[in-house]
C-alpha cells in the first residue's frame, strides 16, 4: 500500500478536472477535514479528557447539550472562521447564523453543519458523526438568511465523518461518492471506498419503532408489510437496524443498502419531524442520490425543497431506490 491515494491528492486531482477552479474550495475542504480530525481525537479520548456527559445547557432545539456538542461546535467555528473562504456558517448548536469576524476576510462559501450528530449516543460509546454542507454564496457580501436557505440541489459539496471503529469520511462534490478511512498513524484520510453505490434492492429497514403509533398510514402500511415477512405481501423476511445516529445508519446503507425512515409523527405538533433539512437531510440526500439511492419526504424529493428556516425539520425516507419508490407510491395511494 505504498501508493495510497490521500484525500489531499484526491481533492487536488479532482480540482485539475475543473479549469475554473481557483483552489479556494480545495483549501476550504482541507480546513473542514482538519476540524473533523480534531473532533475525532476528542471523541476518541472521551472521558480520558473529561468531555463526556451533559453541559447542563440546552440548544436552540430545546435539546440538552452534551459537553461534546459545544466542544465540537467550537472546533468547527474556530477552524473555519479565519480562513477567508467563508461568507458565513450555520450550526445545529446556534439559533442564528454565524458571521465572520470583521478582522477576517470573507469568501464565497457557506458551511452548514451538525458538529456532533447522534450525540445522545456519545456517553454510551456508540458511533457519532459530523455532517457538513457547503453552499456557494455571493462574494464579499454579508450573507442574508436567504443566501443560506438554498435548495439542497444547489449544494457544492456534502460530507460526513463517522467516528466509529474506523473514522470514515464520505464526500461528494456532485461527481459520485467516495469514502476515506483515517490512517491514525499518519493523520491522513486514505481513499478506501471509491465510487460508493447504494444497492437498489434491500431487505433491511431502519426506523425508531417506538414511535409506531404516531406514524401516518403509508408508513404504517410499509412497515407492517416488512414485519409480515415471507408470509406477507412482500414474500421475503426483513431485518431491522436502528443506531439512532443518522451518520451511522446512512453509512451502513451506503455500504450494504437499506432504507432509513424518520417519518412525520403526531407526537408533538410543534415538532412533527425530527431531522433538520439544512445540515442533516440535505447533505445526506445529496450523498445518497449521488450514490444511486433516493431521498424523499414521502411526498417530495428532499433536494427540491425550498427551505424556510435554518433549523427547519423534514420527514426523511432514504436509501435503496426500489424501497424508497415503494414508500413514495404508498404516500401517493393515500
Out of 88, 115, 118, 179, which residue is the one contacting ligand AFP (CB under 6 A)? 118
Name residue 159's beta-bridge partners.
Answer: 132, 171
- Kindly identify the residues of this chain, within the stretch 243-262, that bind ligand AFP according to CB under 6 A: 244-246, 262
Own/partner pairs, 99-108, CB within 8 angstroms, 24+ separation:
99/142, 106/139, 106/140, 106/141, 106/142, 107/24, 107/28, 107/83, 107/139, 108/24, 108/136, 108/137, 108/138, 108/139
Q: Binding-site residue total for ligand AFP (CB under 6 A)?
A: 12
Report the distance separating Cα 185 and Cα 246, nearest Å: 28
Residues 274-313 that bind ligand AFP (CB under 6 A): 274-275
Cβ 2 to ligand AFP, closest distance in Å?
Answer: 38
Between 44 and 63, how does the x/- string for binding to ligand AFP read (CB under 6 A)?
-------------------x
Q: Is 265 in the site for ligand AFP (CB under 6 A)?
A: no
- Burial code of 12-24, b = ≥16 C-beta within 10 A, e = fewer? eebbeeeeeeeee
Determine which residue in the list 8, 34, 41, 120 makes contact with ligand AFP, applying CB under 6 A.
120
Site string for ligand AFP, 58-87 (x = CB under 6 A): -----x------------------------
Cβ within 8 Å of residue 281, ≥6 positions away: 152, 275, 295, 302, 314, 316
User: Which of 79, 119, 297, 320 touches ligand AFP by CB under 6 A?
Assistant: 119
Cα dihedral 117, 123, 209, 254 in deg (nearest 10)? 40
Q: Is 41 in the site for ligand AFP (CB under 6 A)?
A: no
CA dist., res. 155 & res. 314, Å (int): 18
Q: In the bound complex, what is the minimum distance in angstroms from residue 174's beta carbon to ligand AFP? A: 24
Whose Cβ is closer to ligand AFP: residue 64's or residue 149's? 64
Considering the complex, state which of residue 118 and residue 152 has its C-beta at the smaller distance from ligand AFP: 118
Q: In angstroms, rounded to a whole number, what is the distance separating the alpha carbons of residues 91 and 62?
A: 14
Identify the residue among 93, 117, 204, 265 touching ligand AFP (CB under 6 A).
117
Closest CA to 114 of 162, 51, 46: 162
**208 belongs to the binding site for ligand AFP (CB under 6 A):** yes
Q: Where on the chain is the footprint of ligand AFP (CB under 6 A)?
A: 63, 117-120, 208, 244-246, 262, 274-275
Amino acid at each position: 500500500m505504498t501508493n495510497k491515494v490521500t484525500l489531499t491528492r484526491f481533492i487536488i486531482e479532482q480540482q485539475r478536472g475543473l479549469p475554473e477552479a481557483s483552489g479556494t474550495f480545495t483549501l476550504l475542504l482541507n480546513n473542514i477535514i482538519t476540524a473533523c480530525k480534531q473532533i475525532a481525537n476528542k471523541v476518541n479520548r472521551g472521558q480520558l479528557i473529561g468531555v463526556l456527559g451533559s453541559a447542563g445547557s440546552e440548544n436552540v432545539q430545546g435539546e440538552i447539550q452534551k459537553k461534546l456538542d459545544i466542544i465540537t461546535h467550537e472546533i468547527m467555528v474556530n477552524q473555519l472562521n479565519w480562513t477567508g473562504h467563508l461568507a458565513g456558517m450555520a450550526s445545529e448548536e446556534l439559533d442564528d447564523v454565524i458571521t465572520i469576524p470583521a478582522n477576517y476576510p470573507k469568501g464565497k462559501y457557506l458551511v452548514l453543519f451538525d458538529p456532533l450528530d447522534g450525540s445522545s449516543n456519545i456517553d454510551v460509546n456508540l458511533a457519532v458523526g459530523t455532517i457538513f454542507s457547503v453552499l456557494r454564496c455571493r462574494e464579499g457580501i454579508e450573507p442574508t438568511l436567504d443566501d443560506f436557505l438554498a435548495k439542497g440541489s444547489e449544494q457544492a459539496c456534502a460530507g460526513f465523518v463517522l467516528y466509529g471503529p474506523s473514522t470514515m469520511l464520505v464526500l461528494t462534490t456532485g461527481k459520485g461518492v467516495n469514502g476515506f478511512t483515517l490512517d491514525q498513524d499518519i493523520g491522513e484520510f486514505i481513499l478506501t471506498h471509491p465510487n460508493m453505490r447504494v444497492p437498489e434492492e434491500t431487505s433491511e429497514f431502519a426506523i425508531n419503532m417506538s414511535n409506531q403509533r404516531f406514524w401516518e398510514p403509508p408508513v404504517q402500511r410499509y412497515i407492517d408489510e416488512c414485519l409480515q415477512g415471507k408470509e406477507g405481501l412482500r414474500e421475503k423476511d426483513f431485518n431491522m437496524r436502528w443506531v439512532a445516529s443518522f451518520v451511522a445508519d446512512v453509512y451502513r446503507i451506503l455500504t450494504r443498502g437499506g432504507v432509513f425512515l424518520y417519518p412525520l409523527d403526531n407526537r408533538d405538533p410543534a415538532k412533527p419531524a425530527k431531522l433538520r433539512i439544512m445540515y442533516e437531510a440535505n447533505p445526506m440526500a445529496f450523498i445518497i442520490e449521488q450514490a444511486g439511492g433516493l431521498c424523499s419526504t414521502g411526498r417530495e424529493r428532499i433536494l427540491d425543497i425550498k427551505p424556510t428556516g435554518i433549523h427547519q425539520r423534514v420527514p426523511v425516507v432514504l436509501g435503496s431506490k426500489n424501497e424508497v419508490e415503494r414508500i413514495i407510491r404508498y404516500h401517493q395511494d393515500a
